Amino acid sequence: MIDEINALYDSMSKGQKKIADYVLNHPDKAAFMTATKLGEACGTSESTVVRFAVMLGYNGYSDFQKEVASHIQSKLTNKAQNSTVHYRKNRNEILKGVLVSDAQNIVDTIHLVDSGVYDMALKLIKEAAHVYIIGIRTCAPLASYLGFYLNMIRPDVKVIDSMNISEIYEQLFWLNHDDVLIGISFPRYSMRTLKAMEYGNEKKARLISITDSEYSPMNMYSSCNLWAKSDMISIADSLVAPMSVINALIVGLYINDETFVKNNLEQMEALWNGLQTYRGDELADGM
């Protein structure tokens, strides 16, 4: 695909060159765009995008889109394989190497974060009537973690817990303009999460995305985008930096409403003690 674009670039129209430039520079984003959305992003029409795909030898835009997605998957797979080869040759470096890589992701995230966007996210979550959180596949633990702590901080928090798109829509059925939907997705981006964000946009909800960069397709639907570096380590996604951003949200919400949250935690602590939720309580009772 890239070779074909480069070979035909000089013969392309001005509009087609805009599309080519966009696809080459932002394939992660283009792979999830409809022909209409890609045309809008490039300042051209849907028909120009379709003609661009046909000119490259594809039967239509959907075939071209699949090729872009395949290109992204290949890049990620090669990156993972290269990391695996390195660690296989240097087995004594695995522990330190992974820790250093995770630490670097956090350092890189420090340069990505925008304090204004962070403050906006805190305000949206605090003022929302209901907060919905969605994270699919490897991002599901992040969504669950955020939901666990938000439930201590405020009422009416729901973590979407289905992989089925129709069930996701059902759980988001009552979403409206007074609510917030937090979507969490990193490469390879979940199409279900993107569909949920698109649905939230249609419902006029306030959207917050936690994703990897300005090129993420999650940004198409959200105006409040928190970015965190998540470079893959061998076969595993590095989610340390995203977890740190989520921790910052939790701490920020706690500090902004400390008295209310402390009261919630005291009531929960009494409940946990009564139910012997934690091992320390059981040991204390036996002493």
On whether residue 91 sits in a domain, the answer given is no
Q: What is the pLDDT of residue 59?
A: 87
- Residue 76 token pair: 């990620």
Q: What is the DSSP string of 167-211?
A: HHHHHTTT--TT-EEEEE--SSPPHHHHHHHHHHHHTT-EEEEEE
Number of domains in the chain: 3
> Has this prediction a pTM greater than 0.85?
no
Q: Is residue 263 part of a domain?
A: yes
Q: Is residue 90 part of a domain?
A: no
Within a domain: 82 = no
d(CA 150, CA 143): 10
Q: Are residues 32 and 169 in the same domain?
A: no
The answer on 162 and 272 residing in a single domain is: no
What pLDDT sits at residue 283? 41
**Residue of 126, 138, 95, 98 lying closest to 242 (CA atoms):** 138
**What pLDDT does 61 receive?**
87
CATH of the domain at 201: 3.40.50.10490
Omega before residue 88 within 30° of 0, cis: no
pLDDT at residue 168 in the model: 92
Q: What is the pLDDT along the chain (287 residues), one digit of tens a residue?
A: 888 888 888 888 999 999 999 888 887 778 777 888 889 889 999 999 999 988 888 888 888 888 887 776 666 555 545 554 454 555 566 777 778 788 888 888 988 889 999 999 999 999 999 999 999 988 999 999 999 999 989 999 999 987 788 899 999 999 999 999 999 999 878 889 999 999 999 999 999 999 998 888 898 889 899 999 887 655 677 899 999 999 999 999 988 877 777 777 777 777 767 666 666 544 444 43
Instruction: State which of 48, 71, 94 marks the end of a domain.
Output: 71
Which residue segment(s) compose the domain that 168 sits in? 106-256
Dihedral class, residue 137 (left if φ above 0, else alpha if ψ from -120 to 50, else beta) = left
